[in-house]
């Protein structure tokens, strides 16, 4: 009698598992049959938004359904990611995610309305971009060592811009300050445009910022570049040393961006999205298009991006605590 009961329980469990699997496969095979929403946690315009819209257009062509880009800026991506985390896990809501949103925010906010590893599943990384160390042209420093010497001679007199507390620029600069022992005042701005405007006029003296905003101003002489923050020199400015080469050994910051969906989306749908977007990221035409802006397209598996987030959260937690950055 006992053996019969065990067989019955096993049969029921197997039937339930097979039913769930068949349902997931059926959902995936019919996907997509309506428009897809692609949430971008940044304001329209700029290179990141351009990449997002390129991905949306490519997916629409490949999937045969409209992919509607929806810009939801605010609070370092918290607004957008909270919305997406509460969306149905059916593959019809995508979100552009960043290192700052998945890794930095986790360590910055005590009451974050989402958990990166619990509420999201990675589809693929999209691209990475280095930050540039730029200063206002009126600053006498012509190199990183000269800047460090100048800042040490005037503690608390120089200021740096960022696009907000907790942004990648802010955290990178605080880590730089902790590494060098410099006292430089943080001036947060609401946008890169306003920060760059004050930097060019000398209201603030320096900034770590991405290639889209800085390269045109560097080339026109409105800003001076002292170094790039990536692991190697950039294709856009091969003559410019990395910050490690320029006097801060081992210091590097390479910001990355990815594509995610709400947790619970069936794996066959995640794999389909990964395959379609990966084809775009590996295409020579797309790589050449964005290389001109110093953006390196980087495809990954879903598991590789998940592991990146999982690894970087404790790594940056330690770096931020060592730099005196406490969660709010």
Domains of the chain: 35-128+254-322 (3.40.190.150), 132-228 (3.40.190.10)
pLDDT in tens, 279-293: 999 999 999 888 877
pLDDT in tens, 63-113: 999 999 999 988 889 999 999 999 999 999 999 999 999 999 999 888 999
Of 59 and 234, the structure prediction assigns the larger pLDDT to 59
> According to the model, what pLDDT value does residue 8 have?
46
pLDDT in tens, 39-67: 999 888 878 889 999 999 999 999 999 99
Residue 229 · residue 253 · CB < 8 Å: yes
- Given strand 254-262, what is the order of strands in its sheet? 67-71, 36-40, 93-98, 254-262, 120-130, 296-297
Residue 173 · residue 166 · CB < 8 Å: no
List C-alpha distances in Å: 316 to 167, 175, 270, 320, 321: 13, 10, 27, 6, 8
pTM above 0.75, yes or no: yes
> According to the model, what pLDDT value does residue 19 have?
55
């Amino acid at each position: 009698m006992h053996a019969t009961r065990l067989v019955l329980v096993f049969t029921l469990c197997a039937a339930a598992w097979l039913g769930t699997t068949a349902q997931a496969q059926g959902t995936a095979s019919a996907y997509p049959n309506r428009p897809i929403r692609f949430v971008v946690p940044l304001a329209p315009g700029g290179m990141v938004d351009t990449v997002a819209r390129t991905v949306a257009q490519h997916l629409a062509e490949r999937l045969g359904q409209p992919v509607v880009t929806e810009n939801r800026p605010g609070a370092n991506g918290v607004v957008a990611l909270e919305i997406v985390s509460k969306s149905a896990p059916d593959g019809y809501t995508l979100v552009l995610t960043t290192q700052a949103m998945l890794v930095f925010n986790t360590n910055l906010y005590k009451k974050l309305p989402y958990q990166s590893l619990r509420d999201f599943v990675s589809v693929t990384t999209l691209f990475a971009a280095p930050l540039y160390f730029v200063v206002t042209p009126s600053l006498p420093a012509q190199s990183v060592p000269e800047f460090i010497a100048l800042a040490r001679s005037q503690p608390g007199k120089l200021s740096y811009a960022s696009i907000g507390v907790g942004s990648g620029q802010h955290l990178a600069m605080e880590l730089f300050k902790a590494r060098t022992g410099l006292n430089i005042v943080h001036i947060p701005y609401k946008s890169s445009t306003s920060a760059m405007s004050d930097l060019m006029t000398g209201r603030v003296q320096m900034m770590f910022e991405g290639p889209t905003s800085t390269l045109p101003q560097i080339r026109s002489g409105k800003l001076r570049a002292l170094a790039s923050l990536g692991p190697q020199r950039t294709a856009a400015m091969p003559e410019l040393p990395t910050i490690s080469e320029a006097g801060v050994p081992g210091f590097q910051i390479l910001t990355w961006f990815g594509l995610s969906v709400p947790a619970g989306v069936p794996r066959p749908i995640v794999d389909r999205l990964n395959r379609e977007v990966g084809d775009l990221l590996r295409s020579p035409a797309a790589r050449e298009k964005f290389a001109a802006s110093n953006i390196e397209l980087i495809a990954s598996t879903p598991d590789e991006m998940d592991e990146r987030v999982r690894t970087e959260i404790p790594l940056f937690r330690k770096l931020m605590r060592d730099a005196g950055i406490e969660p709010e």
